[in-house]
Chain A
Amino acid sequence: MTLIRASVDIDVPVDIAYNQWTQFPLFPRFMDGVKRVDRPQANMTHWVTKMYGVTREFDAETVEQRPDERLRWRSLEHPERSGRWRSRPRHVGRVEFQPLEGDRSRVTLAMSFRPSGVMERAGGGLGIVRRHIQGELENFKEFIEEEGSETGKWRGAIKDGYVQPESGQERPQVPNWPCG
């Protein structure tokens, strides 16, 4: 497994940076390599990414989420239309949020993955990936600094893949009566 780390300091308080990060469907607005993100349930996201002409699609389970502190995930396979379970780089990752002096914060992204593409396997390829991840963090920084405040937030906590009861999440609007 290969580890990639990237980090960026942002001129917004840590809670604003964290809250913005929880708004996954907005990522394509400021991340070049991300085409679409859905969050069908609290502990899962679905990603469509395109980097260097290669489109990838995967599900990610949010394993841990602690407001204003960190988010950890692992990618899952996604069945293809052809019926093959594509062997793609499986990865785990975490993003950490640290408060800095003067109402600023540091966001650090670390990912471990098994490279599969030729580009990724070549030594230079890893450098390109790392620079890309760094670039995406810079895009995030630019976005949230320009906004000044988060566009939304989800304040629940997730531990071992479970949303923790009464951890600050809002109750979604759902019809709730027995179905026959």
Chain B
Amino acid sequence: MEDPRTPDGHDDNATVTPPKTWAVGVPGVANALKYSLSQTSPRRTALTLLNINQTKGFDCPGCAWPEPEPGMRHRNEYCENGAKHVNDEATTRRITAEFFRRYPVSELGRRSDQWLNQQGRLTVPMVKPPDADHYEPISWSGALQLIADELRGLDSPNEAVFYTSGRASNEAAFVLQLFARAFGTNNLPDCSNMCHESSGAALFETLGIGKGDVSLTDIYHADLIFVVGQNPGTNHPRMLSALEECKRRGGRIVAVNTLPEAGLMRFKHPQEPRGVIGRGTPLADQFLHIRLGGDLALFQALNLLLLEAEEAAPGTVLGRSFIDSHTSGFAEFAEHLHKTVSWPDVLTATGLTRGEIEDLRDLVLRSGRIVVCWAMGLTQHKHGVPTIREVVNFLLLRGNIGKLGAGVCPVRGHSNVQGDRTMGIWEQMPQEFLDALEKEFSFTPPAAHGWDTVASIKAMLDGRAKVFLGLAGNFVRATPDSKVTEQAMRQCRLTVHISTKLNRSHAVCGRTALILPTLGRSERDIQAGGEQFVTVEDSMSEVHASYGKLEPASKHLLSEVTILSRLARRTLGDKVPVSWERFETSYETIREHISHVVPGFHDFNARVLKPGGFRLPSLVDEGIFETATGKAMFTCNEFDMLQAPEGHLILQSLRSHDQWNTVPYTLNDRYRGIHGSRHVVFVNPADLRALGLQQDDRVDLVSVWHDGVERRAEDFQLVAYPTAPGCAAAYYPETNVLVPLDSVADISNTPTSKGIVVRLEERVRHT
């Protein structure tokens, strides 16, 4: 596999400085501005920044943290990464046909992710014919006809795969799933397969809701907030403001993480005087420096301690009335914990002391209302689903579900990943949804489940899938087992990407490949029916409008809705009685259909126009639990932990601070003290000593898996860092190559990117 680093050349040696103890502050703003101005003009910078996340502005295409209600938003309601992301999209740099004449595809495949991203906005549709090594211009009608012909030429609709990434708006996602189903397949993998799928599975089983039930009001009024396996300082910086409000009201925060991240320690609000002048607000009241994958053991032990505390002082610890009226399975759960929790196992799995866990129990006992927030640190493990089920057990014990200031809060990192799923982007949509589609559009969608991301890659590998279409995203860099995934993509007869920026997925492509350039979220979208807006749904189930403000990067761009509607017409003809052309004229027509198909979206057009949009109610807040028992369910989960053989470490992949999902903006990670390189691996100093290695040595990372295949990530600089003993960390997507395709979470099929066993092979000793 070509190394995507060379020959850009400058990702060489990292300079390492002490990590920061605080996050955001004025440097956050300054960095946002510096990056923005390097990409675009001051006027465009101001226009984009002042319109992010405002009521009549556009939704930041970054993470999915919600905005405060209208009237409560800051004029600068964005974070550093959101600002970079938007200005990245708003860059004045352009990629034209001349660029592709200059750079063959093979050359693009040797360039770094950062270099590719920096080349600017895609402006015209391009095609790479079979056996060619250059993209060449193609007309829109030519491109769409090519795809239509390929799709119609397949032996079965299931030979096509339609992938969605979280930038896609509700409207685009709805049209894509409608097209795919009208075409005849449920092959709808999406980026959340790799993200919060474990959360959806666990919450749906135990609480009967597919998503979180916590609002910003709950965060403000919680007495205690857990932030587990999540790094808000980098990945959801605006969440820090909400946590700060909770603290200022007297709430407390517990951080559980394998690394002591700056954002958990101290927050300097860049838009408040106290954040600019002062030392900032210390956030975490307790920090638990946990081993990778130790969270299941932690919550089991904590739950046992709470049960024991209740036994010692009956009636003072558990929410008995709530347990009796709202839950099922308590007795079996209590018995299971008493029988199975072993403190030696817990302490080995977590790397914590019993005292620390007992201190946590004491903090819990002082707290009436508790919220647990989490992200990939919980979901991307083989035992991710049982871990989240155990988190639910914890919240149920003291009645922290369905009450104000309490609940489950899976925090999503992509602006509309939740909305896409709501719109039907899932390979196993329930029959009621398919029936509603049939009733609305008079065709019968396929009933058989389709493929998620991992299954799609396997199908592309063995030839069952031949055509790949990606709506937004960077599939080859978001996925595990990079060598295998890239081979799978290359085997496709046709790969198509609907994109705003250049990325590696355009370089690692099928025999025929298409790049379809599209409008960004920040850009005006003018159709025959007038200026259009799109809608998105955030992590807290608020659905609101997003209005683009900037002039499009090129007059040749088409919107996602337009591209998909025209493709559907060309592919399907009159096969289904859907007026695709009306969709692109006015997105109101799409919303009208959504209002008939998706529950909770009645009067969609009218309701979404209200400032701030509307919130989808949570059933558990209404005392309704659509589970197997009709109540919130306690579950019995088997203990599990990650272990590495002697001389090995467990590796997690994570983002740097100057990165958004698969896109690195720079080679720096200033909160962790890294400057100038992304090829670093963070290792605890004690582990370095035990392995006979030292800071700045260069190593290869080799993952260990039972299939005997060597998965190697070459040439990483060792950085001594306070990561939990036995646990290492390195950036993705560079280390995705180490995650075996078969190494997935039980039930959710999510790649286990936070728990890979690796050995470090020395290359160069630092002298």
Contact = CB atoms under 8 A, between A and B. Distances in A.
B600 interface: yes
Contacts of B458: none
B209 interface: yes
A83 B624 contact: no
Contacts of A43: 402-404, 621
B74 A81 contact: yes
Contacts of A179: 192, 196, 199-200, 210-211, 418, 421-422
Interface stretch (A100-108, A118-126, A163-171): A163-171
Contact of A40 (B217, B248, B249): B217
A162 interface: yes
Contacts of B210: 175-179
Interface string B247-279: 011000000000000000000010010100000
Interface string A35-69: 00000111110100000000000010100000000
A179 B211 CA distance: 6
Nearest to B630: A165
A80 B619 CA distance: 29
B204 interface: yes
A174 B326 contact: no
Given A179-B421, A180-B200, A165 B326 contact: yes
Nearest to A154: B622
Given A41-B621, A43-B403, A177 B221 contact: no
B217 A59 contact: yes
A167 B248 contact: no
A180 B417 contact: yes
Interface residues of A, number: 37
Interface in A139-157: 156
A156 B204 contact: no
A173 B199 CA distance: 22
Contacts of B190: 180
A61 B404 contact: yes
Nearest to A40: B615
A161 B624 contact: no
B376 interface: no
Given A163-B623, A169-B622, A180-B200, A174 B599 contact: yes
A73 to B, nearest CB: 11
Q: Which of B248, B326, B421, B623 has the most CB of A within 10 A?
A: B623
A83 B197 CA distance: 35
A174 B619 contact: yes
Contacts of B221: 59, 76
Given A175-B616, A177-B429, A180-B417, A165 B624 contact: yes
Contacts of A178: 197, 200-201, 203-204, 210-211, 421, 426
B404 A177 contact: no
B625 A165 contact: yes
A177 B433 contact: yes
Contacts of B74: 81
Contacts of B201: 178
B703 to A, nearest CB: 24
B402 A176 contact: no
A79 interface: yes
Interface in B184-199: 190-193, 195-197, 199
A159 B403 CA distance: 10
B600 A81 contact: no
Contacts of B321: 159-160
A153 B711 CA distance: 62
B293 interface: no
B622 A176 contact: no
Contacts of B599: 173-176
A44 B403 CA distance: 9
Contact of A174 (B191, B220, B245, B617): B617
Chain B: interface residue count, which band?
Answer: 35 or more
B208 interface: yes
B313 interface: no
B245 A79 contact: yes
Nearest to B200: A178
B749 to A, nearest CB: 10
Given A40-B217, A41-B617, A43-B403, A81 B72 contact: yes
A77 interface: yes
Interface string B652-688: 0000000000000000000000000000000000000
A172 B220 contact: no
A169 B623 contact: yes
A41 B384 CA distance: 29
A169 B601 CA distance: 20
A77 B217 CA distance: 10
A85 B200 contact: no
Nearest to A180: B192
Q: Which of A76, A79, A165, A179 has the most CB of B within 10 A?
A: A179
B426 A177 contact: yes
Contacts of A164: 325, 623
B97 to A, nearest CB: 37
B146 interface: no
Contacts of B421: 177-180
B753 interface: no
Contacts of B433: 175, 177
Contact of A162 (B192, B217, B403, B626): B403
B430 interface: yes
Interface in B619-662: 619, 621-626, 630-631
B480 to A, nearest CB: 15
B723 interface: no
B746 to A, nearest CB: 15
Contacts of A80: 72
Nearest to B73: A81
B630 to A, nearest CB: 7
Nearest to A43: B404
B171 to A, nearest CB: 16
B399 A162 contact: yes
Interface in B360-403: 399, 402-403
B47 interface: no
A74 B321 CA distance: 21
Interface of A: 40-44, 46, 59, 61, 76-81, 83, 85, 156, 159-167, 169, 171-180
Give 5 closest A-B pairs by Cβ, nearest first: A180-B192, A178-B200, A163-B623, A178-B210, A180-B197
7 contacts: A41-B215, A79-B72, A83-B245, A160-B322, A165-B624, A175-B433, A175-B601
Interface of B: 71-72, 74, 190-193, 195-197, 199-201, 203-204, 208-211, 215, 217, 220-221, 245, 248-249, 269, 272, 274, 321-322, 325-326, 399, 402-404, 417-418, 421-422, 426, 429-430, 433, 598-602, 615-619, 621-626, 630-631
